[in-house]
C-alpha cells in the first residue's frame, strides 16, 4: 500500500504542525495507519496522547478518528451479529473499568495492545466487506479507554460504550447513539 510520503516514512506516521513523529504507529488489516502522538491536555500533559489516522493513498492526510466511524461500524454489525457485538462491548466496558492509565512516558513508550488479538481471533467471523476491520475498532477503543482513564473526571467515552451497548440490546435508538458519539456531547 502507498501512503502520502509527507506523513508516513521510516515506518512512522508524522504530523507537520506541530512537526512530530508518532510515538507509536500501528497498521490495521485494511491498511489504515493509527498514530499515537504527544498530547498536551489534562492534568498530566506529559503523558497525554492524541490519535491520528492515515488512510492509504498518496493524497491522504492524517486526521483524528471520529468516534462515529467505529460506532456506526458496530451498529452495522449488530444487524447480523447482535450477540457478538454485545459481548465485545461488555468486554470493553469491563476493560475500561479495570485498565490502568499510563503513569509515565516510559509506560506509554512501552505500550502494546492487550485486547486486540483476543477479540479479533474470537470474533473474526463478524468482519464484513466494506466496513472497518475489527482490529481497527479494537485498537481505537483500547487507546481511548486508556486515554480517558488518565483524565480524571472524563466520562464521555465510557458513556459512549454504554450507550452503544444499550443500542445493541435494543434499549435506545439510533439517534441517541449518534448524538453520544459527537464531540462535546454530555
Residue boundaries of the structural domains of the chain: 8-54, 67-180
Tell me the Cα Rg of the chain: 16
Burial group, residue 11, by CB count within 10 angstroms (0-12, 13-18, 19+): exposed
For the chain, percent helix, then strand, then coil, each to nearest 5?
45, 15, 40
Does the model's pTM come out above 0.75? Answer: yes
pLDDT at residue 51, rounded to an integer: 96
The span from the CA of 67 to the CA of 148, in Å, is 13
pLDDT at residue 185, rounded to an integer: 67
The span from the CA of 158 to the CA of 173, in Å, is 18
- pLDDT tens for the chain, 186 residues long, are 899 999 999 999 999 988 999 999 999 999 999 999 999 887 888 989 999 999 999 999 999 999 999 999 999 999 999 999 999 999 999 999 999 999 999 999 999 999 999 999 999 999 998 999 999 999 999 999 999 988 777 788 999 999 999 999 999 999 999 998 887 766
Residue 42, C-alpha cell as written in the block: 489534562
pLDDT at residue 174, rounded to an integer: 93
pLDDT at residue 150, rounded to an integer: 83
- 146-158 as b/e: b if 16+ CB within 10 A: bbbbbbeeeebbb
Amino acid at each position: 500500500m502507498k501512503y502520502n510520503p509527507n506523513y508516513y516514512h521510516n515506518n512512522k506516521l508524522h504530523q507537520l504542525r506541530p512537526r512530530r513523529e508518532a510515538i507509536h504507529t500501528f497498521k490495521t488489516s485494511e491498511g489504515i495507519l493509527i498514530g499515537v502522538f504527544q498530547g498536551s491536555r489534562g492534568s498530566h500533559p506529559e503523558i497525554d496522547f492524541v490519535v491520528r489516522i492515515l488512510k492509504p493513498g498518496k493524497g491522504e492526510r492524517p486526521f483524528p478518528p471520529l468516534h462515529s466511524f467505529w460506532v456506526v461500524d458496530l451498529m452495522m454489525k449488530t444487524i447480523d451479529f447482535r450477540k457478538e457485538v454485545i459481548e465485545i462491548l461488555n468486554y470493553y466496558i469491563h476493560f475500561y473499568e479495570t485498565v490502568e492509565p499510563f503513569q509515565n512516558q516510559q509506560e506509554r513508550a512501552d505500550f502494546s495492545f492487550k485486547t486486540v488479538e483476543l477479540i479479533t481471533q474470537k470474533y473474526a467471523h463478524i468482519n464484513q466487506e466494506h466496513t472497518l476491520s475489527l482490529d481497527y475498532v479494537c485498537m481505537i477503543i483500547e487507546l481511548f479507554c486508556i486515554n480517558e482513564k488518565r483524565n480524571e473526571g472524563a466520562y464521555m467515552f465510557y458513556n459512549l460504550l454504554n450507550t452503544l451497548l444499550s443500542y445493541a440490546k435494543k434499549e435506545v435508538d439510533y439517534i441517541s447513539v449518534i448524538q453520544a458519539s459527537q464531540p462535546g456531547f454530555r
